[in-house]
Amino acid sequence: MYTVELKPAAQRFIAAQPKKIQRQLIEQIEALAHNPRPANSKLLHTKEKLYRVRSGNYRIIYQIQDRRLLIVVIKVGDRKDIYKHLGY
């Protein structure tokens, strides 16, 4: 099982959401600890090898460090703005 680490920006975004959305996002992030590459995940073409998973209208951008069994959630946000400043 992987350990999940959230960057401060991801934590702030989740904390600012209504409770229902917070639960939805947290459940999706916790599921990544058991399966870091679920069927609905997609590898983004960035030099950092980031992955994306959908959760309703929100996207969770994360990095998998297999050697350390670590998932780092880089960014969480609305689907319309999440891809800005990702290094495409």
Residue-range domains of the chain with CATH: 3-78 (3.30.2310.20)
pTM of the model: 0.89
CA distance 6 to 11: 6
pLDDT digits over 13-65, tens only?
A: 999 999 999 999 999 999 999 999 999 999 997 788 899 999 999 999 999 99
pLDDT digits over 63-76, tens only?
A: 999 999 999 999 99
Encoded tokens for 31: 């599921």
Render 41-81 in DSSP notation, one character per residue: EEE--STT-EEEEEETTEEEEEEEEGGGTEEEEEEEEETTT
Q: What is the residue type of 34? A: H
CA distance 17 to 1: 28
Encoded tokens for 78: 């609305």
Is the pLDDT at 81 greater than 90? The verdict is: no
